[in-house]
Structure 1
């Protein structure tokens, strides 16, 4: 896993998103679905992998979001 990847993890009574390499959680949510949606947005914005953990801490799924290209930057 690369530094900067976003992990959705169980956090107390709710769920949180943590950026790999960071020391604190980025945001929290009361439900996994809510946290997962926020984590997906973060990963898309950063062009990194979103790792969703199960309640027991094991990895449930991974989604990679390549950094989107600005059409103004493409040649042609």
Structure 2
């Protein structure tokens, strides 16, 4: 399973694969990136770690949902 990160990048936000610097998606706002995320992840399997502006992980999402190892609704 690939691991992706949503992080602040200068004046905007980007999605990148863990260990890579190249942006797979980039937007001006975090909200815009999170809105585009489900479409980008359609057909892909991965864990997306969503960071705060300071770099802390605030949320993790698994795509597709059926791949989530936890049985929680979160």
How much is the aligned-residue C-alpha RMSD, in angstroms? Answer: 2.1
TM-score (norm 2): 0.71
Unaligned runs of 5+ in 2: 67-74
Query: What's 2:70 paired with?
Result: none
The total of aligned residue pairs comes to 66
Q: 1:34 aligns with which of 32, 35, 40?
A: 32
For the structure 1 residues 30 and 13, does the alpha-carbon distance in structure 2 shift closer, same or farther, using more than 3 Å as the test? same
TM-score (norm 1): 0.69
Unaligned runs of 5+ in 1: 69-76
What secondary structure sits across from 1:25 in the alignment?
coil
Deviation at 1:16, TM superposition (A): 0.5
Superposition misfits of 4+ residues, deviation over 6 angstroms: none
Query: What's 1:10 paired with?
Result: 8
Give the number of the structure whose alpha-carbon radius of gyration is greater: 1
